[in-house]
Amino acid sequence: MRSLFPNAWVVARREYGVRVKNRTFAILTIGLMLVGLGLAFAPLLFRVLGGDEPTRIGVVLQATDPPANAISFLDQSLNGTGGTTATGGGYALETITDAASARQQVTDGTLDGALAIGRNASGELSFDYFADASSTNRSVLAIQSAVSSLVVSDRLTARGVTDLQRVFAPASFALEPLHPDQQDRSPEELVSGYLLGIVLVVVTFMAIIMYGNWVAVGVAEEKSSRVMELLITAATPRQLLFGKVLGNGAAGLTQYLSIVVAAVVGLVAQGPLSQALLNEPAGTTDFAGLTAPVLITFGVFFVTGFILYCTLYAGLGAMASRQEDVQQIVMPMTVVGMVGYFASFAAAQSPDAAWAKLLSFIPFFSPYLMPLRVVNGSVGLPELALAVALMLVFIWLAIIVAARIYAAGVLLYGQRPGFRTVLAATFGSSARAR
């Protein structure tokens, strides 16, 4: 470690200052902060514009002997045991006596749909739904499911079954999880944990891909201007590489944290604004599952994963003689990151599966899978310690290998380096990276 400093700090301060003091950096950061703030306010804006209002359905009872409980049965089927709510989505059912009037209200936009209930020649209930929607629309499918249950209820009534509430009561079902710590988690907490895990994965993936490419482009830009030849005479390749990763990475994290802070401010402000604009009950934003252990785990794996990927991106960037070649050269690292990203979505469904556990210990995938498992699964402290240790070992190996590639890159001006050329230049002399 002493061989890296203080030269690496000098390089890091220079890289950070050059990036942060750039006017383009400041303008882009402000723009991204506004985007993050806008995305945080999107749910509130959606409710203000009426996008969260219930679907209004007019029900026309055309049958001479309709089921006595048709409206309440459909309401319970569509909205659950809680019934229709004034806000927050759901379905609002309204009885209308005239079918033509109901259709006209749908045409005028007063109603979202009109459901006519009649009987066919065999005495079975028949339904005609009039709406501006396709057969695969979510509301159409929900109504189709509800009327199917109503038909079953009507058939049972015709055959003398009177205790329909007991017939349609939900089954007694208890889940006994393998891990005891999952026993007390409600369905709402499980859904929140799943969503939180996905958010952490997306945040990590965006940071690694965006700023990893940024580091690679910065190295290639320095090489194309032949500044690298001057710098490498004042510091070792390993010092230069680590300094560039720290400086450019810190600049990227500064921008990224600014976006996250803006988004968090927007989320926290939703409570008071919802009360002021929509007269909703005051409350705090619910970050279900965002506990101290989750934050610490995410922070550790985010930072170590960021350093690992950026180090390798910087090494690959040194292989490019032109900035136009950077994207092609760093493609292998991008593919590796995408594998971890997509594997996380599958692991979110079964975080304690054997394959998910195995991938969470592989350093290239740990930044994605380990925080996800902590949120949704059961991870012991020894597992976390082992994963962190492997990350640190791989970071040190990545610095050594990337420094050799960085040193070899100085010799590869004006040519497209092939795989054999890079291997020969990188491992041909161990003295270059010292």
Residues 405 and 382 in one domain: yes
On whether the CB atoms of residues 363 and 308 are closer than 8 A, the answer is: yes
Residues 33 and 68 in one domain: no
Residues 396 and 417 in one domain: yes
Cα–Cα distance between 233 and 142 in angstroms, integer? Answer: 71
Residues 31 and 118 in one domain: no
Residues 423 and 277 in one domain: yes
Smallest Cα–Cα separation from 289: which of 207, 195, 386, 415?
A: 195
Overall domain count for the chain: 2
* Sign (positive or negative) of CA dihedral 315, 317, 320, 322: negative
Residues 119 and 20 in one domain: no
Residues 32 and 93 in one domain: no
Q: What is the DSSP letter of 234?
A: T
Count CB atoms within 10 A of the CB of residue 295.
13
Residues 377 and 269 in one domain: yes
Out of 189-203, 215-229, 348-362, give the one with best mean pLDDT: 348-362
* pTM score, whole prediction: 0.66
Would 279 be classed as within a structural domain?
A: yes
The label of the residue with tokens 């499911």 reads: 145
State what percent of residues in the chain have pLDDT above 90: 12
Would 355 be classed as within a structural domain?
A: yes
What is the tens place of the pLDDT at every residue in 296-347? 888 889 889 988 998 888 888 877 767 777 888 888 888 999 999 999 988 8
On whether the CB atoms of residues 352 and 377 are closer than 8 A, the answer is: yes
Cα–Cα distance between 422 and 434 in angstroms, integer? Answer: 18
Residues 73 and 198 in one domain: no
Q: Six-digit token pair at 50? A: 């009426």
Domain limit, last residue, from 138, 167, 196: 167
Would 177 be classed as within a structural domain?
A: no
On whether the CB atoms of residues 238 and 399 are closer than 8 A, the answer is: yes
Residue 88: which CATH number?
A: 3.40.190
Domain limit, last residue, from 109, 134, 167: 167
Residues 192 and 305 in one domain: yes
- Write out the residue range of the structural domain in which residue 279 sits: 7-43+187-427
